[in-house]
Amino acid sequence: MANNQSQYQDIYDQWQNDPEAFWMKAAEQIDWFTAPTTCFDGDSNGSGRWFPDATTNTCYNAVDRHVAAGRGDQAALIYDSPMTGNGRQISYAELLDEVETLAAVLARRGVTKGDRVIIYMPMVPEAVIAMLAVARLGAVHSVVFGGFAPAELAIRINDATPKAMISATCGIEPSGVIAYKPLLDQAIEQASHKPDVCLIMAREQQDCALINGRDYDYADEMSHARTAGLKQACVPVKATDPLYILYTSGTTGQPKGVVRDNGGHMVALMWTMDHIYGVQPGEVFWAASDVGWVVGHSYICYAPLLFGCTSVMYEGKPVGTPDAGAFWRVISTYHVSVLFTAPTAFRAIRKVDPQGDLIRDYDLSGFRALFLAGERTDPDTLHWAIEKLNVPVIDHWWQTETGWTIAGNTLGLGLVDVPAGSSGRPMPGYDVQVLDDEGMPVERGTLGNIVVKLPLPPSCLPTLWGADDRFHDAYLRTFPGYYMTSDAGIVDATGNVFIMARTDDIINVAGHRLSTGGMEEVITSHADVAECAVVGAADQLKGQLPVGFYVMNDGVDKTPEELEAELIKLVRGQIGAVAAFKTAVAVKRLPKTRSGKILRGTMQKIIDGEAYNMPATIDDPAILDEIAAALKARGLLD
Ligand code: COA
Ligand code: AMP
């Protein structure tokens, strides 16, 4: 479905010829309190800050200005929840009332500019209202995905040191109601930092006890503020001030606090809505993700609202709530123009409804395009989606660190031809290159480390929260002058980018980014485990699933089945259900190099049934046969 008239290359060239002119023009789409006169302030390495002399407020741009411009009656948010059977539409005028009231509540409870507020919420409109209210105050939100366990939440509390937390009594999953308040209480108990205030939104499915002097009922507080006529105006912030911190998996159990600024973030996201996603203000945009992930931040909350679209918040799954037609129901009911989700959702739908029979039950005539990200779109899924939906299906590659597309395709500028398996061409702002391990450019079509020449475009992380050194070490030090993406891949002769694998220990489970190193830390903390390795095994539905291999301590009087159950419980308790850790295989020894490095890559190839070369430095090749035998005994290998 490519378009010979695509303007993609012209626009990319425009950016490359004069990046500052390009971004200053894009910045005109934002309402500034003080407009930028300087585009970028960088250091000699190329890293730096966008629009350093401008002031603005993200909530003002996402809400107030649309009401002022006459968009007040348009739906800003459509909440659809097959989990509860409820739904609700919130107009821009109502959204303004909600956020100015909630911001006043937070201000009354002591939250001021620069303070951090952790949001631990299910997929309800109040999650987005909370994000915007925090932004309105010039404070900094950090949303934590509900599938993380208290220990993970505690790590984030200690790192972000929030003054306040906003949560709900429960999330609702197909497995049942998940009470959030006990998780919140446990996390605060475990954390050394204590928030002053917790605001708890009561859901009818679950009650909770409030702790006197710390916890307040969301609805009571809102109603008090309304009665008292409290409303909070937008607090001007510098474009370079942080809007949010979003924690993402790093190579250890300590997640990275990706910092997003206010100004550059808005400029980049606004640019994407018409150029990449090809939508217009007033249209309905649906990102079927969760506000706890970067896709949810950028495309459930900020970009659609900044652009004046209607954003769908869906509290449900692609299948089973109640069936594999759920996505088509939402698209047709609300006239969704563009859907953005992860390939795993489509693999789940296809598994249940391979012929796409349920698609025919709905009128999808207004549906224009499907965008996929979070993991590589395998060609099978791509072709199935194109055939069944008969719209362009666009894979695009990005990271929590960037907040928007590094490589993709531009529906709004006309699509370019992209081969299946590629996530498209670099977007303006990104000079994508491929380097070998010594930092030398490889020939086109050769696999290597994918890097982006500095400076990174607006919206990309300027640093990690409270960890400048870690930021430099993790992203900038290995290849001076470049941002290291930690993805390996290929750029072909035409410039198409293929993302093949991570170069670190991150695995991708159902589009969720998880650290195997973090899981290993938890498993080795078990008193009966001598050592362990976790690798990502290929999975038809979720892309990858973690599989643990562990060596039991001598003298432990437990069966492998007993210990496996304990380890699964431990990982679920420490990291959360989101880790999807369900397999731990007992082995006598782990394969290592002579210098003691565990050969995780080789283990992964064995479990995936792939051919592998015997590592030259392996200490004892017989161990690889033992690993294969252990997997066969468990039925995990043919
Ligand atoms: N609060 C509490 N627990 C949560 C949760 C939340 N907000 N979200 C997920 N969980 C739990 C689930 O209940 C599940 O627990 P279980 O092991 O007890 O079943 C576990 O975390 C894993 O959840 P999930 O990854 O959603 O797997 P699933 O098997 O329930 O569903 C898919 C599989 C493919 C249907 C689902 O992952 C999906 O819809 N993914 C596509 C969209 C997406 O969100 N992508 C992310 C980035 S774009
Ligand atoms: P996250 O920060 O959670 O969005 O995860 C980012 C990582 O997910 C990237 O570094 C890639 O490894 C992977 N990823 C995201 N989108 C794609 C894509 N379209 N194709 C291949 N990998 C992807």
Provide mean pLDDT across the span 371-388: 95
- Ligand 2 pocket, residue 543 CB under 6 Å: no
Of residues 308 and 5, more confidence is placed in 308
Task: Looking at the CA of 575, name the nearest ligand.
Answer: 1
Provide mean pLDDT across the span 221-229: 98
Cα 214 to averaged position of ligand 2 atoms, centre (Å): 38
Cα 247 to averaged position of ligand 2 atoms, centre (Å): 15
- Ligand 2 pocket, residue 167 CB under 6 Å: no
Instruction: With cut-offs at 50, 70 and 90, classify the pLDDT of residue 227.
Output: very high
Ligand 2 closest atom vs CA 486: 10
Provide mean pLDDT across the span 591-619: 92
Tokens read off for 3: 């378009």
Where do the DSSP E strands lie in 389-517?
393-395, 407-408, 425-426, 432-435, 448-453, 482-491, 497-502, 506-509, 512-515
Q: Are 62 and 302 in contact (CB under 8 A)?
A: yes
Classify domain 508-633 by CATH number: 3.30.300.30
Of residues 615 and 450, more confidence is placed in 450
Residue 413 in this model has a pLDDT that exceeds 60:
yes
Domain borders along the chain are: 89-235, 508-633
Side-chain half-sphere of 564: how many Cα atoms within 13 Å? 14
Cα 392 to averaged position of ligand 2 atoms, centre (Å): 20
What was the pLDDT predicted at 251? 73
Minimum mean pLDDT range among 138-152, 232-246, 250-264, 579-593: 250-264
pTM of the model: 0.96
Provide mean pLDDT across the span 544-565: 96
Query: Residue 577 carries which DSSP code?
Result: G
Residue nearest to atom 21 of ligand 2 (CA): 376
Please tell me the distance from the alpha carbon of residue 284 to that of residue 309, in angstroms, as a whole number.
6
Provide mean pLDDT across the span 282-310: 98
Look at residue 118 and give its three-state secondary structure. Answer: strand
Kind and range of the H or E run holding 606: helix 600-607
Classify domain 89-235 by CATH number: 3.40.50.980
Ligand 2 closest atom vs CA 396: 19
Main-chain dihedrals φ then ψ at residue 522, nearest 5 degrees: -70, -45
Tokens read off for 29: 């789409």
What was the pLDDT predicted at 254? 86
What was the pLDDT predicted at 2? 57
Instruction: With cut-offs at 50, 70 and 90, classify the pLDDT of residue 616.
Output: confident
Cα 154 to averaged position of ligand 1 atoms, centre (Å): 21
In testing the pocket of ligand 2, which one of 487, 503, 504 has its CB within 8 Å of the most ligand atoms? 487
Residue nearest to atom 23 of ligand 2 (CA): 375
Provide mean pLDDT across the span 497-503: 94
Please tell me the distance from the alpha carbon of residue 173 to that of residue 634, in angstroms, as a whole number.
30
**Of residues 1, 19, 103, 91, the one with CA closest to residue 58:** 103
In testing the pocket of ligand 2, which one of 427, 460, 513 has its CB within 8 Å of the most ligand atoms? 513
What was the pLDDT predicted at 43? 87
Residue 545 in this model has a pLDDT that exceeds 80:
yes
Query: Residue 593 carries which DSSP code?
Result: B
Provide mean pLDDT across the span 373-377: 94
Encode pLDDT of 17-35 as tens digits: 999 999 999 999 999 999 9
Cα 399 to averaged position of ligand 2 atoms, centre (Å): 5
What was the pLDDT predicted at 3? 56
Mean of pLDDT over the chain: 96
What was the pLDDT predicted at 250? 79
Encode pLDDT of 9-18 as tens digits: 999 999 999 9
Provide mean pLDDT across the span 365-373: 98
What was the pLDDT predicted at 252? 72
Provide mean pLDDT across the span 374-393: 96
- Ligand 1 pocket, residue 152 CB under 6 Å: no
- Ligand 2 pocket, residue 396 CB under 6 Å: yes
